[in-house]
Amino acid sequence: MDWITTAVNGALLGGLYGLFGLGLALVFGVMRVVNLAHGEFIVLGAYLGVFLVAAMPQVPPWLMIVPVALAGYAIGWGLQAGVVNHAVRTRDPLTPLMLTFGLSVVLRNGMVQLFGADSRAIDGGALTSTGFDLLGMRIGVYPLLVLLLAAALFAGLQWLLRRSEFGRVVRATADAPEVARLMGVAPERVFNRVMGLALAFAMLAGFLLAQRTLFTPFSGVERMLVAFEVVIIGGLGSFWGALAGGVVLGMAQLLGQKFDSNAGPLYAHLVFVATLMFLPKGLAGERR
Amino acid sequence: MPPLLELDAVDVFHGDLQAVFGVSLRVEAGQALALIGANGAGKTTLLRAIAGLTPARRGTLRFDGYPLAGLRAERIAALGVAMVPEGRLLFPSLSVEENLQMGQLTRRAGAWTLARVYELFPVLREMRQRPATRLSGGQQQMVAIGRALMCNPRLLLCDELSLGLAPLVVEEIYKAFARIRAEGLAIVLVEQDVARACAVSDTMLCLLKGRVTLAGPSHHVPRERIAAAYFGE
Amino acid sequence: MRVPLAGAVSAAIVVAAAAIAPRFVEAGALRLAAEILLAIGMAQMWNLLAGYTGLLSLGHQLFVGVGAYTLYEATQRLQIAPHWALPLAGLAGAAAAALLAPALFRLREAYFSIGLWVFAEIGYLVVSKTTALGSTAGRPLDLSNLPDVEAFQAISFWVACTIGLGALVGVHALMRSRLGLALLTVRDNELAASSIGVDVWWVRFPAFVVSGFGCALAGAAYFMGAMFVAPDSAFDVNWVVMMMFATLIGGIGTLEGPVIGVLVWFALRELLTTVVGLQGGWYLIGMGGVAMTLSLFAPRGLWGLARQHWNWRGWPMQRSSLRRFTKP
C-alpha cells in the first residue's frame, strides 16, 4: 500500500515535471532552439518567488504565481528580442546552443554571487503541508493542485495553439517562417512571444517547485535535464506526451528514492535511458 | 499616374552569385505581366526581390511610387503585394481553412473573403478541415492562390502556377485565374508554358541568364522572336 | 609522415625544456603548467568530437570522472604506482564511450548533447552513493606503492606534457588520415557523405571512442596530480564548460583553436582571481559572457578571426582518399 501511495504521489509530481518540459518543448517546436539555460530560469523563478513572499508576507504565497509568471514572460520576450533572435538568424544550429549554454553559465554563477549558495525554499503555508486520505493512501493537497494546474495549463496551451489566431500564426511560423513573412507575419515577433510564454511556464514551475523542495543556484542543471527527459520520453512534438512523460519520471523518481534513499534523481535518469533504448520515439511516437 | 510596380536597373544576388542583371520593368494597375525564360533565368529571384524575401543589391523598386528598398517582406505584404510561391509552400501544420485564414493577417480591407475564395474554388470548401498538404497538387495550388487572395493585394505575384500539374488541372487553375484578372488585380506571372503566359497577360518580359532579352506586349509577337529571346541566339 | 627540419628542432627543444623543468620551476607553477597542458589535451578531445565530427558534447565530464575514479580504484586494488594505472583509466573512458554510442547516436544535435550530459549525471550519482568508491566525501590517492614520492611531482608534470602534446600530435595525425577526411565529410553533410558510401556510424564511433579515451586519460592525470578526488569535482559540469568555451574562443574545428583558447582561458582566470582579486565564480561569469558574445559575433573564434583578417595559416593538413571507410 505504501508503494502505491508513493506511486500516486510520483504521478502527482509528474505534473510539475511536465511543466518543466513544456517550456522547453514549446521553444524547440517553434524555433528549433534548445534553451540550455531553461533550468536556470526555473531556479530564477524560485528565487523571485522567495523574495516576493518575503517582501509581502501578508499576501498568500500561491498568489505570487501571477507576478512570477508575468516576470517570466517579460524576461523571455526580452531575451528573445535582444539576443536569441540574432542567434536564430545565423541558421547555424550550433549558435543558439553556444549562446544559451553561455547564458546558463552566467546565470548559474551569477545567482551564486548574488544570492549565495545555500539552500532555500518557500514556505507555502498550510497549503503545502496538508494532506487527505483517499482509499487508504495519504495524498498531499499541494501536489494534487499542482497536477491540476499543470493539466489546466497544458489544456490552455493546446487551446491557444489549436483554436486561436495567435496559435495559427505560431504553427505557421514554426512550419515556414519565410512564407509566413509573405502573409505579413514578422517571425521575430512571434518568437518573442513564444519565448515569453516558455519562460513564463519555466519560472512559474520553479516557483511551484520551491514550495516543495529546497533549491540552490545549482539546481538548474537537474531541472533542465528533467525537462529534456520529459520531452523525449513523451515524444518530440507531443505536449500531452510531455505531461505523460512527467508522470513516468515522477513515479520513477519517488519509487526509486523509496527503494534507495540516497539515489537522488538516478532512477528517473535510468528510466530515461531505458526509454531511449527501447522506445526511441517516446510514448506518443514522433509527430511530423 | 505612376505605374503600380516599377523596377529600374535591378541587380539581385542569390548568396554570392548574381542572378539578375539590371532588369527594368513596369506594371500598370490592373495589368498582367508575364515573366518567361528558361530554368535558372532569374525569374523566381526577381519575384522574391519584389516580395522582399531577397533584397535587391542595386537599382530601385517602387510600388505605387513607394520605394521598396530595405523593406522587410512582411511590410511589403502589408502594402498590398501578395505572392503565390513556387511549389505552393503551404503550412503543413495548418488545415486548408487555416492556411486561407493566414491571409487575413495583413488586415487589408477588400473584396476577398473566405466565402468568396470558396466560391472561386468550391472543392476547397469540402476539404476545409483537412491538413493542407494532404490534398492533390491542383487543390494545393488553389489553396496557395486563395491564401494570397485573402491578403486582398493590389499586386499578385504568381510563380509557376502550372508546375507539376496535369493539363486538365492547369485548365481549371487558369479559368480561376481569368476570374481573378477580371477583378482588376495587377499580376506578375512566371510561367513555363510560354503560349499560355502570353495568352493570359497584357505585357511580357523574357529573361535569359538574368538579363532582359525581350520586352513588350504579349500578343502578336512572332514565335521566332520569342524563341530567340528565350534560348539566346 | 615527413617532418620538416624546423619542426624537428622545435620539437627537440620542447622535449628538452619539459625534461628539465621540474628541477628549476617551483611546485605551484609546475602544477599550473600541468593543468594547462591537460586542459589542452581535453579541449583537443572535445574539439575532435565537436569541431571535426560535428557532435557537440555537454557531458565530457563523464570521461573525466570515469578516468579519475578508474585510476584511483586501480591504484588501490592492483597496488601499483598511480602512473601505471593511467592506461587503464584511458581504456575505461574508451569503454564508456563504446558502451554509450548505440544509445546516444540515435539522438540528433542538441539531443545528443544533453543525452551525454544525462549519462554524466548518472555517473555522478552512482559514484556519490557508492561508499566503496568514497561516496560524496571523496577519497585520497593511494600512494603506498610509489617508489619515490619526490619524483612523483616530476612524473605528474611529464605525464601532463605527454598527454597535452600527444593529443595535439594525435589529432593532427588523425585528421590527416582517411578517417579524418571521412569525419569531415560526415560533419559537413551526413546525407551526402552517406550517399557516396561513407559509413557514418563507423566514422563517428572511433572518433567518440578516441575522444573518450583521451579525455579520461587527461582527467585521470589531473586527479593523479591532485592526489584527492570527489564526485563534485570529478563530474563537475565546469569541465565541459572549460573545454567548450576554450575551443570556441580559440576556434572550433581547428588544431590551433583549442590551444589558443585554453591559454586565453587560463590567462583570464589567473588575471581575474590573482591580479584583480575576484572570487572564483566571477571568472566563470566572465567566460559565459565571452562565449555568448563570440557565438553571435565571432563563431569561428580568435583563430578564425586571425585567418580571416590576417591570413594566418597554422599546421597544414593535407589528406588522402576515402576508400577505406566506404561500405562494402
Contact A172 B106 (CB under 8 A): no
Interface membership of B91 toward A (CB under 8 Å): yes
Measure in Å the smallest separation between the Cα of A166 and chain B Cα atoms.
10
Interface membership of C290 toward A (CB under 8 Å): yes
Q: pLDDT at residue A128 above 90?
A: no
pLDDT of residue C319: 46
What is the tens place of the pLDDT at every residue in A85-99? 988 888 777 788 889
Containing domain of residue B170, as a range? Answer: 5-231
Interface membership of A99 toward C (CB under 8 Å): yes
pLDDT of residue C323: 43
- In the block, residue with C-alpha cell 503585394: B81
Residues of A (128-187) whose Cβ lies below 8 Å from C: none
What is the tens place of the pLDDT at every residue in A58-108? 888 888 999 999 999 999 999 999 999 988 888 777 788 889 999 999 999
Chain C, nearest residue to A273 by Cα: C103
Measure in Å the smallest separation between the Cα of A220 and chain B Cα atoms.
33
Chain A, nearest residue to C252 by Cα: A94
Q: Which residues of chain A have a Cβ shorter than 8 Å from any chain B Cβ?
A: 165, 168-169, 171-172, 174-176, 178-186, 288
Residue A254 identity (one-letter amino acid): L
Q: Determine the 3-state secondary structure of B122 from DSSP.
A: helix
Interface membership of A110 toward C (CB under 8 Å): yes
Query: Which residues are within 8 A (CB) of A212 and not within 5 positions of it... i.e. 6 or more apart?
Result: A16, A121, A128, A142, A143
Interface membership of A266 toward C (CB under 8 Å): yes
Rounding to the nearest 10 degrees, give the CA dihedral for residues C155, C159, C160, C165: 140
What is the tens place of the pLDDT at every residue in B184-208? 899 999 998 888 999 999 999 999 9
Phi, psi torsion values for A118, nearest 5 degrees: -80, 160
Q: Determine the 3-state secondary structure of B12 from DSSP.
A: strand
Interface membership of A117 toward C (CB under 8 Å): no
Most C CBs within 10 A among A35, A83, A101, hence the mutation to make, goes to A101
Contact B77 A181 (CB under 8 A): yes
- In the block, residue with C-alpha cell 561500405: C327
- In the block, residue with C-alpha cell 548568396: B15
Task: Please list the pLDDT of chain C residue by residue as tens digits (328 residues).
Answer: 555 677 778 778 878 887 787 778 787 888 899 999 999 999 999 999 998 888 889 999 999 999 999 999 999 999 888 888 999 999 999 999 999 998 888 887 778 898 999 999 999 999 998 888 888 888 998 888 888 877 888 888 999 999 999 999 899 988 888 888 888 888 888 778 888 877 888 889 999 999 999 999 999 999 999 999 999 999 999 999 999 999 988 888 888 889 999 999 999 888 888 877 777 788 889 889 988 998 888 777 777 777 777 766 665 554 444 444 555 5
Give the single-character DSSP code of C271.
I
Phi, psi torsion values for A215, nearest 5 degrees: -145, 160
Q: At what angle do helices A65-79 and A38-55 cross, to 10 degrees?
A: 140
Contact A169 B53 (CB under 8 A): no
List the single residue in A34, A110, A270 with the smallest CB-CB distance to C285. A110
Burial class of residue C20, CB neighbours in 10 A (0-12, 13-18, 19+): exposed
Q: In which element (H, E) is residue C261 found?
A: helix C256-270
State percent of chain A over pLDDT 90.
Answer: 51
The HSE-up count of residue A232 (CA atoms within 13 Å, CB side) is: 29
Query: Which residues are within 8 A (CB) of B194 and not within 5 positions of it... i.e. 6 or more apart?
Result: B36, B226, B230
Question: A2-278: which CATH architecture?
Answer: Orthogonal Bundle (1.10)
Instruction: Give the cell for residue A193.
Output: 512571444
β-partners of residue B83 are B157
B170, B162 Cβ separation under 8 angstroms: yes
Measure in Å the smallest separation between the Cα of A232 and chain B Cα atoms.
21
Contact A182 B91 (CB under 8 A): no
Residues in chain B closer than 8 A to A179 (CB atoms): 85, 89, 91
Instruction: Give the cell for residue B153.
Output: 493585394
Measure in Å the smallest separation between the Cα of C112 and chain A Cα atoms.
11
Contact B105 A171 (CB under 8 A): no
Instruction: Give the cell for residue B152.
Output: 486582398
Task: Give the domain ranges of chain A.
Answer: 2-278
Contact A178 B93 (CB under 8 A): no
More confident residue, A74 or B42: A74
β-partners of residue B212 are B207
pLDDT of residue B220: 80
Chains B and C touch (3+ CB pairs under 8 A): no
Strand blocks (E) in C165-284: 228-229
List the single residue in A171, A174, A181 with the smallest CB-CB distance to B73. A181
Query: Which residues are within 8 A (CB) of A224 and not within 5 positions of it... i.e. 6 or more apart?
Result: A24, A36, A37, A38, A39, A40, A42, A104, C114
pLDDT classification of A1: cutoffs 50, 70, 90:
low
Measure in Å the smallest separation between the Cα of A228 and chain B Cα atoms.
23
Angle at A6 between CA A5 and CA A12, to 5 degrees: 90
Rounded Cα gap, residues A133 and C210, in angstroms: 56
Contact B74 A186 (CB under 8 A): yes
* Gyration radius of chain B's alpha carbons: 17
Contact C125 A266 (CB under 8 A): yes
Q: Is the dihedral of CA C124, C130, C131, C133 positive or negative?
A: negative
C51, C180 Cβ separation under 8 angstroms: no
Rounded Cα gap, residues C135 and C128, in angstroms: 4
Contact A97 C110 (CB under 8 A): yes
Q: In which element (H, E) is residue B214 found?
A: strand B211-217
C62, C121 Cβ separation under 8 angstroms: no
Q: Which chains neighbour C (Cβ–Cβ under 8 Å, 3 or more pairs)? A: A
A-C Cβ pairs (cutoff 8 Å, strict): 121
A1, A137 Cβ separation under 8 angstroms: yes
Highest mean pLDDT range out of A15-24, A278-287, C212-221, C296-305?
C212-221
A-B Cβ pairs (cutoff 8 Å, strict): 68
Rounded Cα gap, residues C56 and C113, in angstroms: 6
Rounded Cα gap, residues B111 and C248, in angstroms: 55
pLDDT classification of A184: cutoffs 50, 70, 90:
very high
Q: What is the mean pLDDT of chain A?
A: 88
pLDDT classification of A285: cutoffs 50, 70, 90:
low
The HSE-up count of residue C54 (CA atoms within 13 Å, CB side) is: 21
Rounded Cα gap, residues B189 and B208, in angstroms: 16
A32, A46 Cβ separation under 8 angstroms: no
Domain count, chain B: 1
pTM for this entry: 0.88
Interface membership of A286 toward C (CB under 8 Å): no
C144, C74 Cβ separation under 8 angstroms: no
Contact C288 A103 (CB under 8 A): yes
- CATH number at B176 reads 3.40.50.300
Q: Which chains neighbour B (Cβ–Cβ under 8 Å, 3 or more pairs)? A: A
Contact A229 C118 (CB under 8 A): yes
Interface membership of C197 toward A (CB under 8 Å): no
Rounding to the nearest 10 degrees, give the CA dihedral for residues A167, A171, A176, A180: -10
Rounded Cα gap, residues B208 and B210, in angstroms: 5
Residues in chain A closer than 8 A to B51 (CB atoms): 182
Angle at C56 between CA C51 and CA C60, to 5 degrees: 105
Q: Determine the 3-state secondary structure of A123 from DSSP.
A: coil
pLDDT of residue A284: 61
- In the block, residue with C-alpha cell 505579413: A184
Q: At what angle do helices C280-297 and C238-250 cross, to 10 degrees?
A: 40
List the single residue in B78, B89, B98 with the smallest CB-CB distance to A184. B78
Residue C148 identity (one-letter amino acid): D
Rounded Cα gap, residues B118 and C175, in angstroms: 61
Measure in Å the smallest separation between the Cα of A185 and chain B Cα atoms.
6
Q: Is the dihedral of CA C117, C119, C124, C129 positive or negative?
A: positive
B33, B206 Cβ separation under 8 angstroms: no
**Mean of the pLDDT values across residues B65-70?**
88
C229, C136 Cβ separation under 8 angstroms: no
Contact A97 C115 (CB under 8 A): no
Q: Determine the 3-state secondary structure of B53 from DSSP.
A: coil
Contact A113 C244 (CB under 8 A): no
What is the separation, in whole angstroms, between the first and last Cα of chain A?
A: 41
List the single residue in A106, A262, A265 with the smallest CB-CB distance to C285. A106
Instruction: Give the cell for residue B139.
Output: 487543390
Looking at this predicted complex, what is its ipTM? 0.90
Measure in Å the smallest separation between the Cα of B103 and chain A Cα atoms.
6
DSSP string computed for C126-143? HHHH-GGGTGGG-EE---
A246, A17 Cβ separation under 8 angstroms: yes
Residue A86 identity (one-letter amino acid): H
Phi, psi torsion values for B57, nearest 5 degrees: -85, -30
Q: In which element (H, E) is residue A257 found?
A: helix A239-259
Interface membership of C285 toward A (CB under 8 Å): yes
Residues in chain C closer than 8 A to A276 (CB atoms): 103, 106-107, 115
Chain A, nearest residue to B51 by Cα: A182
Contact A102 C107 (CB under 8 A): no
Distances (CA, A) of B185 to A213, B176, C145: 64, 13, 91
Interface membership of B153 toward A (CB under 8 Å): no
Phi, psi torsion values for C146, nearest 5 degrees: -85, 120
Measure in Å the smallest separation between the Cα of B77 and chain A Cα atoms.
5
Query: Which residues are within 8 A (CB) of B118 and not within 5 positions of it... i.e. 6 or more apart?
Result: B124, B125, B128
Rounding to the nearest 10 degrees, give the CA dihedral for residues A277, A281, A285, A287: 170
